[in-house]
A and B are shown apart, each in its own frame.
Chain A
Amino acid sequence: MTRARIIAPLCAAALLGWPWLTDDKFLHHVGVLICITAIAAASLHLIIRTGHVSLGHAAFMALGAYGSVLTVMGLGLPWPAGFVVGTAAAAALAAIAGPILLRLTGKYFVLVTFLFGEVVRMAIVENAWLTGGSNGIFDVPPLNPALLSNRAYYYFALLFAVFGVGLCARLLGCEYGRAIDSIREGERLAECSGVPVIRVKVTVFIIACALAGVAGALQAHYIRYVGPESYSIVQSLNLVVMNVIGGMASLPGALLGTVFMVTLPELLRGYVNLQQVIFGAILFATMAFNPGGLIEVFHRLRAWLRAAKPNAIGGVSSTVRGS
């Protein structure tokens, strides 16, 4: 409890303060991308926690992005209306598709969500009158002239990220989260303890896809362009990799994976020819040495520190721990 009281303000200070340590717009840009992607990765983490790996999560980001952009540009409504429409569109599609998709398990769910994502992408490409087809929609207006700088948009995206990730954390931490974990670890047993398995899965799926919609809308108004290729299987797969590389069964793992997967390609921009090769090699090595995910590094570090402690401060350690 006391430790959380020290760590939380430190984290808050770091998140709020770092953009003022540098004037590098590129770093601010990476910060914005991390905030947006963190919402998407954390929301996919919710679905993964119910025992389903979705390969179509980017499709719901696309719905949020197109929904918001079309509301703002097509109907001329203010951006909050756009965000609401985009989020609602993603949630509505999840409510329709969820009850069907979530009755599939394991590899069948993976394959069908992959196809589902491609169907959504094709629908966007084919309906050029509405969506601009493969070219997408250019010149999306900024949300507000004050949000034109990367630094300002970082704080805007951070607000949404704190809310979105916080919602995921709270959902997993409360009694509902216990039901979610029960389903993943023993679906039949959970059902025989009274957990309405399908209902819980569908509810979680709708919440997660709505959050993906928020991430999509945030991204579209930041990049100020929407196109179908931003929401292809590559993006869906990236979100899955973030969860796997961070540690499948923990939300901090998913966030760690997000930072890793967003930052690394950006840092490797200098080596254009080798970018993909180096990225692949690092990814491979990380997974090979940390099968439990990046979060495992922290656990090992903590265990190592704990083992080292008695030597450092001798017999006092027990009283220190007791305080």
Chain B
Amino acid sequence: MTVLLTVERLSKRFGGVEALAELSFEVAETEIFGIIGPNGAGKTTAVNVISGVTRPSGGMVRLAGKDVTGLAPHVLVENGLVRTFQATTVYAAQTVRENLRRGTYRQIYAGLLPSLFGTSAARAARSRSDRYVEDVMHWLDLTRVADQVAMNLPYGFQKVLGMAIGLAASPRLILLDEPAAGLSAQETDHVRDAALPSSSSITTCASFRTCATACS
């Protein structure tokens, strides 16, 4: 299998605290890779640094052979690397469908002027992404809540929705930051099944059971 992501001697220091010390690993195409550790071990820091939310103090991240260390998150999304958040991060006041439409930005954005004038290319991109949104909802069992406002959904659904927004960007690699934190065993299974169909993913968890069942 070809290597998709290479992390080499990645370090992150906050003042005197060394949150990440020379982390190195590789993730292959279609592999599900787990990072496990207790609270404070630096799992979220690893996700933040790899996804470009914070800059590393040292080391290198390569995506499909290309050096992407320290690039901004939206540039990484263009390259197919998408992350989710540990806390439920969704557009709370919007419906599930609208949340996902916003997640498809990478596919629908045709530029300011085509979008402003509604050119046929822009409209084609719109309908393509609308179809994709329906697919993602069907896939993650969100179709029946499609028109509900996100903040009215139970916590587990919001968690899945957060992940669905990430998947809506059709990533090559998705970083899931503690997708199962705070969920019941049943909800954890729902989240785990949601993670599986994506091409490759890195998931962080604090519990061994989740990690063991989710990872390849």
Q: Which residues of A contact B (CB under 8 A)?
A: 170-171, 174-176, 178-179, 181-182, 185-186, 188-197, 203
User: Once the chains bind, are B115 and A192 in contact (CB under 8 Å)?
Assistant: no
Q: Residue A175 contacts which of B77, B90, B109, B166 (CB distance < 8 angstroms)?
A: B109
User: Once the chains bind, are B108 and A175 in contact (CB under 8 Å)?
Assistant: yes
Q: Residue A189 contacts which of B78, B85, B110, B112 (CB distance < 8 angstroms)?
A: B85
Grouping DSSP codes into helix (H, G, I), strand (E, B) and loop, the A interface class, with mixed when no group exceeds half, is: helix
User: Once the chains bind, are B115 and A182 in contact (CB under 8 Å)?
Assistant: no
| Supplied contacts A174-B115, A174-B116, A191-B74, 16 more A-B pairs, CB within 8 Å | A174-B118, A178-B105, A179-B102, A179-B105, A182-B105, A185-B92, A189-B89, A189-B90, A190-B105, A192-B51, A192-B73, A192-B83, A192-B166, A194-B106, A194-B169, A196-B74
Q: How many A-B residue pairs have CB under 8 A?
A: 79
Instruction: Write the nearest CB–CB distance from B101 to chain A, whole angstroms.
Output: 7
Complex CA gap A186/B98 in Å reads 13
User: Once the chains bind, are B94 and A170 in contact (CB under 8 Å)?
Assistant: no
Q: How many residues of chain B are within 8 Å of chain A by beta carbon?
A: 36
User: Once the chains bind, are B115 and A175 in contact (CB under 8 Å)?
Assistant: yes
Q: Which residues of B contact A (CB under 8 A)?
A: 51, 53, 72-74, 77-78, 82-85, 89-94, 101-106, 108-110, 112, 115-116, 118, 122, 126, 165-166, 168-169
User: Once the chains bind, are B115 and A185 in contact (CB under 8 Å)?
Assistant: no
Contact flag A194-B74 (CB < 8 Å), given A182-B91, A185-B93: yes
Contact flag A186-B91 (CB < 8 Å), given A174-B118, A175-B126: yes
Q: Residue B106 contacts which of A181, A189, A193 (CB distance < 8 angstroms)?
A: A193
Complex CA gap A175/B82 in Å reads 21
Instruction: Write the nearest CB–CB distance from B204 to chain A, whole angstroms.
Output: 16
User: Once the chains bind, are A176 and B115 in contact (CB under 8 Å)?
Assistant: yes
Most buried by A among B85, B104, B112: B112
Enumerate chain B residues within 8 angstroms of A186, measured Cβ to Cβ.
89-91
